[in-house]
Amino acid sequence: MARVLVTYYSRSGNTKKIAELVSDGLTALGVTVDLIPVEEVDIDSLPGYDGFIVGSPNYFGTIAWPVKKFIDESVKYYKKLEGKAAAAFTSEGIIGGGGDIVVLDILKTFLIHGCVVQGLTGIGHFGPVAVGKPDERIEKEVIILVERFSALLQKLQA
């Protein structure tokens, strides 16, 4: 059974809420999920996962520093995470606040790690971007994201 790390930074709870939706959705699909605040992730656990879904609030058009710290520490396992699945999400304050860039900043780091990122059709291109508290639109996007992520995990494990 696939094991996925869902990790996030969240100060006022919006990004955490998306992380919980992602975790619940994946769990319902039979994926084993560790839902862990990014500050509490044991970096040495990374090679044990089949996939990573990472969320950060939009801070000045990019990721919040605790997420950047996690990413920078993950260099310890550079070339050891090849072929694992990755996805990302964010919460921002305003429409057009740069949320897509936040998601792409996270995805870029996992591409550099050699992970596999699937683009999304029918919803936001790169990953869920909530404006403030996640609403019905984000709930729907998360359902699609976890279905596609779960299918990707199965393909990668075949």
Ligand X SMILES: Cc1cc2nc3c(=O)[nH]c(=O)nc-3n(C[C@H](O)[C@H](O)[C@H](O)COP(=O)(O)O)c2cc1C
Stretch that binds ligand X, among 12-20, 21-29, 45-53, 121-129 (CB under 6 A): 12-20
Phi, psi at 97, each rounded to 5°: -75, -5
Among 2, 5, 6, 14, binds ligand X (CB under 6 A): 14
Q: What is the DSSP track for 63-74?
A: --HHHHHHHHHG
- Please report whether residue 151 would count as binding ligand X according to CB under 6 A: no
SS3 124: coil
**What does DSSP say about strands 3-8 and 85-92: parallel, antiparallel, or unpaired?**
unpaired
| Pick 3 or 139: Cβ nearer ligand X | 139
Stretch that binds ligand X, among 4-12, 65-73, 79-87, 112-120 (CB under 6 A): 4-12
Q: What is the DSSP letter of 132?
A: S
- Please report whether residue 91 would count as binding ligand X according to CB under 6 A: yes
| Pick 25 or 98: Cβ nearer ligand X | 98
- Please report whether residue 23 would count as binding ligand X according to CB under 6 A: no
For the chain, first and last CA: distance in Å? Answer: 12
Burial class (CB in 10 A: 0-12, 13-18, 19+), 39: exposed
Strands in 106-156 per DSSP E: 116-117, 129-131
Among 20, 27, 69, 97, binds ligand X (CB under 6 A): 97
SS3 129: strand
Among 1, 40, 42, 60, binds ligand X (CB under 6 A): 60
| Pick 46 or 63: Cβ nearer ligand X | 63
Q: How far is the CB of 93 from ligand X (least distance, A)?
A: 3
Which residues of the shown chain bind ligand X in the complex (CB under 6 A)?
Answer: 10-16, 57-61, 91-94, 97-98, 132
